[in-house]
Amino acid sequence: MRAALTWRDRAEQCIYDLAFKPDGTQLIIAAGNRLLVYDTSDGTLIQPLKGHKDTVYCVAYAKDGKRFASGSADKSVIIWTSKLEGILKYTHNDSIQCVSYNPLTHQLASCSSGDFGLWSPEQKSVSKHKTSSRITCCSWTNDGQYLALGMFNGIVSIRNKNGDEKVKIERPGGSSSPVWSICWNPSRDERNDILAVADWGQKLSFYHLSGKQIGKDRVLNFDPCCISYFTKGEYLLLGGSDRQVSLFTRDGVRLGTVGEQSSWVWTCKVKPDSNYVAVGCQDGTISFYQLIFSTVHGLYKDRYAYRDNMTDVIVQHLITEQKVRIKGRELVKKIAIYKNRLAIQMPEKILIYELYTDDSADMYYRVKEKIIKKFECNLLVVCSGHIILCQEKRLQCLSFSGVKEREWLMESLIRYIKVIGGPPGREGLLVGLKNGQILKIFVDNALAIVLLKQATAVRCLDMSASRSKLAVVDENDTCLVYDIHTKELLFQEPNANSVAWNTQCEDMLCFSGGGYLNIKASNFPVHQQKLQGFVVGYNGSKIFCLHVFSMSAVEVPQSAPMYQYLERKMFKEAYQIACLGVTDADWRELAMEALEGLEFETAKKDRKKHGENNQELFLADVYAYQGKFHEAARLYKRSGHESLALEMYSDLRMFEHAKEFLGSGDPKDTKMLIKKQADWAKDINEPKAAVEMYLSAGEHMKAIEISGSHGWVDMLIEIARKLDKAEREPLAKCAFYFKQLDNPGYAAETYMKVGDLKALVQLHVETHRWEEAFALSERHPEFKDEVYVPYAQWLAESDRFEEAQKAFHKAGRQGEAVRVLEQLTHNAVLESRFNDAAYYYWMLSMQCLDIAQENEGQQTEMLQKFHHFQHLAEVYHVYHFIQRYTEEPFSFHLPETLFNISRFLLHSLTKETPLGISKVNTLLALAKQSKALGAYKLARHAYDKLQGLQIPDRFQKSVELGSLTIRSKPFHDSEELVPLCYRCSTNNPLLNNLGNVCINCRQPFVFSASSYEVLHLVEFYLEDGITDEEAVALIDLEAPRVSKRENKWQEMMTDNVQSLKLDDSTDIIEDDDPFTAKLSFEQGGSEFVPVVVSRAVLRAMSRRDVLVKRWPRPLRWQYYRSLLPDASITMCPSCFQMFHTEDYELLILQHNCCPFCRRRIDESNQ
């Protein structure tokens, strides 16, 4: 392990704490009374944050990355958002010592000198708990259930989420050993929660959640100021008075130094899910390091040993996939493995292990020797009785007792070393140097043998099994292969990073590089396949590959090199390759090729490999290949393989000879012979004879295929009617050909015979025989989807979209019905058919309402779409009139109607303008009608708005002329045009910033769907507890109204005079209508106050004054009260649009339907 400094910065104040954003992109530093936010990628200071008035001691980030908190000596805690904005501040009675976020609930624990607080966003309050001592540190468990508090008096208190103490750990040092830093192991693999505790008694300890200590205290020899785990809990970081950050295992074994500093280290943390470490010091230095963990491993044949968790060694058997772990208590620096030996170098010693037994599958190792001595080396190699240490140019050979027996000094740096085997105590080593020299060294010989020298430095070496060839990978990524005896370069290949010879085949090697595995046999071209990593071994058909830290055995079929040898008729070499591992088909191919090449020995071996040892059978095959068919047949019969003779004669179309070998009339053989004869008849273009033979052999499928391919419908009918209904596959094939040959009637008869109703339905659908399909679906409702969905698709393809939409709807395919409608709507808008677009949007909204009724899971989404589509339907409905006015030469509407429509549309387009709607057309219509009706102020405003828009050329002159002439008119609007709110009697401006609502009471206006005048209707709502049915029943009661204001005559008698007097002294006007009292509201409020009525008010209402929009569930009904009962209003019972009765009746006469939803009106209803 080594640490590389990535970046460094210097603040003016001490760095007491730091925290990473969970995604690792930002680093928050507590420096003085400020927070510094850094970009972790390059150390750029993003922003300093000011909010505290005194030194910031602590900072912590929530796991969800949405907020972080900081605590200061000014006794306050500030919550910040991830956008670096302070959103909340609360205080304690003393300075804040530490803060920590719960990893699951995001509850914040903030600790001061005398208490600790728990804050969560849901509670909006801080619950505080007193403590007996100053809290110095805190940490939550992984599941967020418990909070550990480290105290200045040496006690660790474990609390639950409510702050109650559950466990109390009293450290032996007491108040003389303050607990300065604690941290729970974040590993998800640990079955128990483990707490790491570092105190100023210079000890590191570990505890279970129960308070039980794990192992003994670890002596540190410095005062620890900070402790933190890596994300997966495999390592610990500790920093403090020793002015450096140290890396420990999770068990507390020191592994090395991350970075030495010039002052105390107060804080150090690991960047989430990475090997980067941030360090903060007393002098304000901020350092950011990358930890680089090198791979420490060793390989010998099928055993691979590698370092795990820095202190353990795992030995893996690459063939059996068995693994064994050798646990250690010290840092593993080097590993070497050879046969039954394993050497592990640690900082102060080398351990030599051996296997318990000589069994090749044994995985149990025991310590053989210990060399208690510190060694510095680059490479380590172990042999049967020695270890070899490599240090730059020097090689040293030591016995297992640690005595140096031999030493070699090379001319250049040693780049590669490998044991290539040999007798025990006399093993050979292959050594590659930087200057290109390659040497062979024997451990019992002081002289090194130079095998060859090349011009480029060596990166990787391997020697073939017979020691006759040498493969080298140089620094230019070139694989070079030499003949060791002649020193001749045999061939070279580019793009190599490692190379290995096959231990079982002399002429095969493999090399990796550029994401590919390359296999080369002899001088043939390289065979490539994709593979990531480095090749480190090649044994038979297995290639051992190291990718990052993982070693795997890849099974590679040797077919490609085998066929390369076969192409050159090199049968013996091909046989050797096949022995490494090929498929059965490859073995057969090799045998046949060897026979054809008259290489009988190889062919014989192949057959033996394939499990065939009968000599007569082998000779019969040879006779057959030589054309001696009768001799071959006799040998087949003698060896008990008459079936092979039968097969041979059948293949040769010698059917008369074949019949001699039918044996005892085996029906299978007879059928096979007839089938082959039929095949032959088919091949010689005698299809009718072939059909008859196939039928006699019971091969109905083949007979049907021939009849179908030749279009013989009569033959197919005959076959189909003879077949039993249980023979479904042949009958289905007959039906297939009937359909293909355009005979759907016979296909239907066949499907009925089989009873395959589904196929029958599909037949009717495919042939567009819809009436038969509908009749079948009526009798069998389960096929409704199979009929109506294709029918709808067919209608859509025939441009009958509205019918298609209804068919989809009937089939229950609401999604498809909605999609067809959406496409129809989009097309209508693009083609400027805005009236159609309005109608389709209304239909879409009702479809969404149907889906909301049927599917509760989609209810919220569908209701949102319902309201959106209703709005769009209304907008396109009114824009249709604007578009006709601007595009067509004659106007079909009164100026007042166009004026109202333009205003309504502008008020409806406050947020966004839907596709196809032109603000220019709308403003132009408004400007012209306003000018014509005397609303000059509004006209001037409309012309001013038009100046800021892109106006088409055909309107340019008209707009410019209108803008000039309007300036000659008075700057006011005609009072007759001003709309009135029927709830509060307020005159509203013609252009309303709030949209189509009253500016005073915020009551939404109800418009006529024809003239778009404001109707004298007020919407009211029911009190809680009143159902729609009850409300309608109460309204229908029609309670009689008694007038409380009556003119009363009084008779008086005075002085014999009789007189009558009208009593108007008590001019009290009591409200005879309880609803009008409900119309009052609080003046000046910005919120809309709806009219809510009780049962009494409903009972007092007259049925003719109330209009009810009876929406289907889940929508509530809407109620409207007419304030001018004498003015009649009609509501469409389908779309619930309101009209003046006279307008509605006129529109019905013109269109015979509702102009909005196009509901047909029967003559009886008109």
Bigger pLDDT: 471 vs 795: 471
Query: CB burial class (10 A; 0-12, 13-18, 19+) of residue 146?
Result: buried
Say what the pTM is: 0.49
Residue 658 sits at φ, ψ, to 5 deg, of: -65, -35
Q: What's the mean pLDDT in 49-72?
A: 94
* Torsion angle defined by CA atoms of residues 345, 346, 348 and 350, in that order, rounded to the nearest 10 degrees: -30
Bigger pLDDT: 594 vs 492: 492
Closest CA to 633 of 661, 656, 596, 659: 661
Provide the 3-class DSSP secondary structure of residue 103: coil
Tens of pLDDT, residues 611-667 = 444 566 666 766 666 667 777 777 766 776 666 665 666 565 555 555 555 554 455
Tens of pLDDT, residues 831-844 = 888 888 888 888 88
Q: Looking at residue 768, what is its pLDDT?
A: 63
Q: Which of 644-653, 738-747, 850-859, 1072-1081 has the lowest mean pLDDT?
A: 644-653
Q: Looking at residue 1067, what is its pLDDT?
A: 41
Q: Looking at residue 352, what is its pLDDT?
A: 93
d(CA 697, CA 122): 81
Tens of pLDDT, residues 324-349 = 999 988 889 999 999 889 999 998 89
Provide the phi-psi class of 663: left if phi over 0, else alpha when psi is between -120 and 50, else beta: left
Tens of pLDDT, residues 585-622 = 776 776 767 666 655 555 555 555 554 445 666 667 66
Asked if pLDDT for residue 367 goes beyond 70, the answer is: yes
SS3 content of the chain, % helix, strand, coil (to 5): 30, 30, 35
697 pLDDT tier (thresholds 50, 70, 90): low
Q: Looking at residue 1082, what is its pLDDT?
A: 58
Q: Looking at residue 774, what is its pLDDT?
A: 66
1068 pLDDT tier (thresholds 50, 70, 90): very low
Q: What's the mean pLDDT in 474-479?
A: 92
Q: Looking at residue 953, what is its pLDDT?
A: 86
Question: Do 842 and 1156 form a contact (C-beta atoms < 8 A)?
Answer: yes
Structure letter (DSSP) for residue 1013 = P
Measured CA to CA in angstroms, residue 514 lies from 479, 497, 498, 532, 546 at distances of: 13, 8, 11, 8, 14
Both structure tokens of 784:
């409704």
Q: Looking at residue 399, what is its pLDDT?
A: 92
Bigger pLDDT: 812 vs 247: 247
List strand residue ranges (DSSP E) for 241-364, in order.
Answer: 244-249, 254-260, 265-270, 276-281, 285-292, 297-300, 303-308, 312-317, 323-326, 334-338, 341-346, 349-355
Question: Do 561 and 519 form a contact (C-beta atoms < 8 A)?
Answer: yes
- HEC-encoded secondary structure of 765-829: HHCCCHHHHHHHHHHCHHHHHHHHHHHHHHHHHCCCHHHHHHHHHHCCCHHHHHHHHHHHHHHHH
Asked if pLDDT for residue 943 goes beyond 70, the answer is: yes
Bigger pLDDT: 427 vs 778: 427
Structure letter (DSSP) for residue 287 = E
1166 pLDDT tier (thresholds 50, 70, 90): very low
Q: What's the mean pLDDT in 940-952?
A: 87
Q: Looking at residue 764, what is its pLDDT?
A: 62
Amino acid letter, 200: W
Residue 72 sits at φ, ψ, to 5 deg, of: -135, 170
Q: What's the mean pLDDT in 656-680?
A: 53
Q: Which of 384-388, 764-768, 850-854 has the lowest mean pLDDT?
A: 764-768
Q: Looking at residue 130, what is its pLDDT?
A: 92
Token pair 């229950």 is found at: 812
Query: CB burial class (10 A; 0-12, 13-18, 19+) of residue 278?
Result: buried
771 pLDDT tier (thresholds 50, 70, 90): low
Q: Looking at residue 1046, what is its pLDDT?
A: 45
CB < 8 Å & 24+ apart, contacts of 131-135: 131/157, 133/175, 134/97, 135/97, 135/98, 135/111
208 pLDDT tier (thresholds 50, 70, 90): very high
Q: Which of 852-856, 1017-1021, 1112-1116 has the highest mean pLDDT?
A: 1017-1021
Task: Please list the alpha-helical segments (H only) found in 995-1140.
Answer: 1028-1035, 1074-1078, 1095-1100
Residues 6+ apart with CB under 8 A from 331: 253, 254, 255, 256, 310, 311, 346, 347
Q: Which of 255-259, 556-560, 723-727 has the highest mean pLDDT?
A: 255-259
Question: Do 764 and 770 form a contact (C-beta atoms < 8 A)?
Answer: yes
Tens of pLDDT, residues 221-238 = 999 999 999 988 889 999
Average pLDDT over the chain reads: 81
